[in-house]
Every structure is written in C-alpha cells, then in structure tokens.
Structure 1
C-alpha cells in the first residue's frame, strides 16, 4: 500500500510540549510536539466526542478535556479510564520545515 503523505503544517507552528489541531483531507488531526518529535493522532476522543487538541498534554499522554481519559500519542492506545478504545495514530515525517502525515 502506497503512502499518502499530506503536508499538514509548518514544523514551527506545532508548539513545543503542546498540541495543535489541524483539518486536512477531510480529517481532524491532532499534532503533538514532544522532545522535538512530532506525533499525530485523530483529534476526536473515542470515548466522548471531544477534540483532543483542547486537552492537556503531559509527556507522551494527551488527556481528553471531557472525561479525563488519556491516550499515548505515540501509538494511540488508551492509558487510563474511562477510555478503552485506541485513537488512530499516523506516521509523521518532517521535510524542509514542514510536517507530513501519512493518512493512508
């Protein structure tokens, strides 16, 4: 399966140790910048229909603003109740100061 790399943001627009919500190719994606590495997941919590970009990022965990469930931003897996279903994560690459996400 071919990669579907989509240019979603300038690297400098993704705040350090924080999260940025972007809409691209019909998807709502959250971008996280932790220790200089960018990660990407769907931006909608799998437990309650809340935007993860409105949550609180601590280390590699994003906390949903609605019910305080948490996900590991590296692979989308839930790390605390009430979340039980993983959020989709996406491969990321940085080229020429731009963030590309494989939405395929």
Structure 2
C-alpha cells in the first residue's frame, strides 16, 4: 500500500525569520520548522532521548544544528542525525519544506 504525502501550511515566509523556529501539527505529530540563514528545515519536534521539544532548543546557525534544552542532545537539521550520540545510526525524522508564493509548507506522509 502506497502512502501519499500532502502539504501542511506552516506560516507566511515573513512570520518565520532567520534563526527562528515554529512548531506545527501534522498527522498526529509535532514537527519543528527552522529558518537557518534563509534555508528552511523540518524535523520531528521531539528529542528521541527523553521527549523534550526541539523547536525551543538552542539553534546553532553556523553548524545548522539544534540542541534539546532538556539534556543537551544535538541534531543536524538537514539530516536529522543525532550528533551527540556515540552510535552513528541515531536519527529523528526529517521532512521536505517548500515555499509557494509567500507561504511555507511541510510535506508529510
């Protein structure tokens, strides 16, 4: 059975400034959307370690990473890879982001 994706409207481009993040809900999960130097990223808004939210974590724009405020677990926003875990195969979900006109959308399945 094939799962089709659909777009979830996040906000207007002008409402998510550089260095900011926003949380949206789609298909029963929270997704964090980040604007890093004009590039948009979307990841699951939950730290896989202990369930902290990532949209309010510390953003490192130079490294394109976010760090969970609860216990310091860090994630690469482009890949979802947990950069602070010793195993190389620990990831959180990522989602494609697109801009149509002046609106930001996240593609979810």
Q: Answer yes or no: same fold by TM over 0.5.
A: yes
Once the two structures are TM-superposed, the CA of residue 79 in structure 1 deviates from its matched residue by 0.9
Match of 2:74 among 70, 75, 82: 70
Once the two structures are TM-superposed, the CA of residue 99 in structure 1 deviates from its matched residue by 0.9
| Structure 1 unaligned regions, length at least 5 | none
Q: How does 1:7-26 map to 2 (within 5 A)?
A: 7-26=9-28
Alignment partner, residue 37 of structure 1: 39
Larger of the two Rg values belongs to structure: 2
Deviations 1:14-35 (A, max 9, x none): 1311221222342211010011
RMSD of aligned residue pairs (Cα, Å)? 1.9
Off by >3 Å, runs of 4+ in structure 1: 81-84
Once the two structures are TM-superposed, the CA of residue 82 in structure 1 deviates from its matched residue by 7.2
Task: Say whether 1:98 aligns with 2:103.
Answer: yes
Deviations 1:19-73 (A, max 9, x none): 2122234221101001111110010111111100121000210001111010000
Please say if residues 26 and 108 of structure 2, whose CA atoms lie closer than 8 Å, have aligned partners that are also in contact: no
Indicate the structure with greater strand content: 1
Once the two structures are TM-superposed, the CA of residue 89 in structure 1 deviates from its matched residue by 0.3
Please say if residues 22 and 32 of structure 2, whose CA atoms lie closer than 8 Å, have aligned partners that are also in contact: yes
Q: How many residues align?
A: 104
